[in-house]
Structure formats: C-alpha cells, structure tokens
Amino acid sequence: MPKKTVEDIEIKGKRVLLRVDFNVPLNINTGAISDDSRIRASLPTIKYLIDHKAKVILCSHLGRPEGRVVENLRIAPIAQRLSQLMGLPVSTASDCIGQEVENEVDKLKEGDILVLENLRFHPEEEANDADFARKLVNLADIYVNDAFGTAHRAHASTVGVAKYLPAVAGFLMKKELNVMEKLLHDPERPSACLIGGAKVSDKIELVQNMLKKVDMLLVGGGMAATFLKAQGYEVGHSLVEDDKLNLAKKLLQEAKEWGVPFLLPIDAVVAGEIKAGVPTRVTPTTNIPSGSHIVDIGPKSIALFYNELRKCRTIIWNGPMGIYEMPQFAQGTRSIARFLSTLDATTIIGGGSSAEVVQEMGLADKMTHVSTGGGASLRFLEGVTLPGVKVLLDKK
Ligand code: ADP
Ligand code: MG
C-alpha cells in the first residue's frame, strides 16, 4: 500500500518534525564530514517544506553515542553543512527534547530551519520510550519521515512519534520505497540479483526471498565459499560457515525447484593469507588449493557474470565480490561496479559496502538508484515490512 507523502498533507504554518538520516561518515582524526551524500539526499524534502511555509524541525542520530552526550557527535557541524548546501541560515537546538527546545521552537517563523541535537544522546531514543516520543511530539504538529536508512529500526523518532502525529513520508523515503517495491513486485524482466559480502548468515533471508522474485541469482564474495563447499568443493581456508552448509544446500535446491539459475564463481583469486602485498593466483573454484583463502572472484567469473547480467533489464546488487577494502582484492567488485554503470538496464545498488564502492568510484550517477540505507534496503528485500514505514499513513 503506498504511503502518504508531504504532498498529501497541509503544512503551511505547521511545525513539521522531519526525521532525516544525517548519520554521515566522519573522519576519525579531524571529525570532518567525509561524505555528505545523506545530507544532500534530504534536501528535496527540506526545500519543499520551506517553499510551502512550514516551520522545519529536523532530527537525526549521528554515530553511536549510546545514550550519553559525546562532544564530537554533536549535530552542529552537520547543521552547518546543511546551511551551506541550502544557502540559508540553519539554527541548532540546545537538545532534542525539553522546555528550552520548546521555547526555541516557539520562536520559529514559517520557512525557518531548526536542527535538534543528536537523538541518541538519550538512551530513550533507541529504546523507543513512549515518554521520550511524547516529548518530541510536543515540538510538532506533523511528522515526516525521510530517514529510509533508519526505517528498519523501531526507535522513538522513527516509530514512537507516529502514534501521536499525522505521519507521512518525505521524498527520499518515497523514492527508496518506489524503487524497491517495483523491484520486488513489477520489475522489468529478465531480472537478476547479484549478492556478495562476507557471510551467508547475513544474507539467507535475502537469497530466500529474491529467488522467488528474480530470474537469476549470482553469488560472489565470501559467502560463495559456503555454497561451493555445500556442493562438495574444497575451499581451503576460505571463510566458511560450517553450520550453514545444510542451509546452503537447501537454498541451492530451492533455486532449482523454482527454476532460477543460481550462479557461483567458476574461478577465484586466492591468497595464502589475507594481507596486503601477498602473492595471489587465480584458480578454478573446482580446484582451490587446500592452504589458501578465496579473496575475490576471478576473471572468468567476472566474464560469466557480465554475460548473464547483460541479458537483464533489472539488476539489484548487494554486497562486494571480494575483500575490496584491500586494493589487490578489489578487482572483482570494481569491475562489476563499472560494468553495471555501463548498462542501460535498471541498476539498483543496495548494501552499505557496495554503495560505498559505487560512490567512491564516482559511478553513483550512472546507476538507476543507489540506496541510502544498507541495512534498511537489505531488510526490505528480505520481504520485511519496515517498522518506520508501517507507521506512516496509507494513501487511500
Ligand atoms: P554490504 O554492506 O554491501 O551488504 P556485507 O556487509 O555483507 O556487504 O559484506 C561486506 C564485507 O564482505 C566486506 O568487508 C568484505 O571484505 C567482505 N568480503 C567480501 N568477499 C570476501 C571474501 N572472499 N572473504 C572474506 N570476506 C569477504
Ligand atoms: Mg555491510
């Protein structure tokens, strides 16, 4: 069921509590914002609210302060960057709840922007505490959620407040939901799901749900080793979850029953240890030397994946093909990213690491959609109704 958005509600003169995801990566040494794409992603909704004369009260979490005030996780630098991006003054509240903040809100005029202090300075935020939610509610007349990246968490600012205020989606939330809904229910076909990442256990539900939704599954990354081993191959010292071997077998069997091709790497880059500068070699996955680790997919697998993906009209990619943090093992992941960017198909990037690679390579504009929420998009694709989405008003 589609959700109501800011466009479906009267906001002129109203105090609008806008939950955004300003949880941007910060440089550990300098504290500087290393990537402001999450702030940029929230601009369309903020601009709309201002253009329609709302009083805009922004709230977000930043980092993991675990319920106490952490000086270098204050929201002020984010508010400053927002002000630069908007070309407008943005004020910062003394906290996110309480009398003083209520006074600050009282002073707002139509079109003003106030950013509340880091929500997670209060443990009640993550606990979805009802009193804390009500204190947030005191600040506003309407609640808008644009924090897709946090929608899989039932916190006070994502779920609690929606009980007491008319709750609608912002434009980023709407876009993320539209893309993922279409992917799950009405993709242009053929469609493919390319999965990588470290562990099978993180992606079981994803594989299970997607094999009923797409025309082919391709699996690389660390989790491929468990599937290879489940088929009886030697995988050396590669990352394997032995307690998931039976499940891997079952998933391969299910794919067969659904008639969905399930492609695994046919060759791999292997190394004696996972360390920069170690010698590597490429071997067929039927012949992985017993003392070695799979660190990336090999050139033949890359070619195989290209060939299959080329046939598709819709592709969802979640998870790197190798240990991409080390440049020597990043070839598979980077080649796939570059290849997807050249396709004329619908290309959707979910998953934190895969999105990071695409951003870092400057390819985001060449994809149809790069999700701003790794965990949230993963949950969504598993078929889970996100708690932060569920509480928004349905469009009649
Ligand atoms: P995403 O965030 O895109 O969903 P994951 O969090 O599931 O991806 O996995 C990312 C991690 O997977 C990376 O840290 C990467 O090093 C690791 N990884 C990928 N391939 C391998 C491999 N062959 N062996 C061990 N780890 C791997
Ligand atoms: Mg991840």
Q: What is the pLDDT of residue 351?
A: 85
- Angstrom CA distances, 319 to 58, 100, 190, 352, stand at 31, 44, 21, 8
Average pLDDT, the chain: 96
Q: Are 178 and 380 in contact, with CB atoms under 8 Å apart? A: no
Q: What homologous superfamily is domain 6-175 in, according to CATH? A: Phosphoglycerate kinase, N-terminal domain (3.40.50.1260)
Based on its alpha-carbon atoms, the radius of gyration of the chain, rounded to whole angstroms, reads 23
Q: Is the pLDDT of residue 292 over 90?
A: yes
- Spans of all domains in the chain: 6-175, 187-381
Helix, coil or strand: residue 122: coil
Same topology, domains 6-175 and 187-381? Answer is yes
375 catalytic? Reply is yes
299 prior amide bond cis, ω within 30: no
- Mutation pick for ligand 1 pocket among 199, 340, 353, 360 (CB with most ligand atoms within 8 Å): 353
Q: Nearest CA to 96 among 73, 163, 167?
A: 73
CA 129 / ligand 1 centre spacing (Å): 34
Q: Are 125 and 97 in contact, with CB atoms under 8 Å apart? A: no
Nearest ligand, measured from the Cα of 226: 1
Q: Please state the rounded mean pLDDT for residues 214-241.
A: 96
Q: Please state the rounded mean pLDDT for residues 351-378.
A: 94
- Residue bearing the CA closest to ligand 1, atom 19: 322
199 catalytic? Reply is yes
* Local confidence band at 9 (pLDDT 50, 70, 90 cut-offs): very high
Nearest ligand, measured from the Cα of 325: 1
189 catalytic? Reply is no
Q: Which atom of ligand 1 is nearest to the CA of 203?
A: 7
Q: What angle do CA 251, 152, 392 make, to 5 degrees?
A: 125
> Could you give the CA distance from residue 181 to residue 252 in angstroms, rounded to a whole number?
25
Residue 334 is which amino acid? R
CA 288 / ligand 2 centre spacing (Å): 26
CA 199 / ligand 2 centre spacing (Å): 10
Q: What is the pLDDT of residue 280?
A: 96
Strand order through the sheet with 280-284: 280-284, 267-271, 293-297
Cβ–ligand 1 distance for 194 under 6 Å, the answer no
Q: Is the pLDDT of residue 157 over 90?
A: yes
Q: Are 120 and 63 in contact, with CB atoms under 8 Å apart? A: yes
> Residue for token digits 């929230």?
42
> Could you give the CA distance from residue 149 to residue 155 in angstroms, rounded to a whole number?
13
Q: What is the pLDDT of residue 127?
A: 98
* Local confidence band at 74 (pLDDT 50, 70, 90 cut-offs): very high
Q: Please state the rounded mean pLDDT for residues 31-46.
A: 93
- CATH classification code of 187-381: 3.40.50.1260
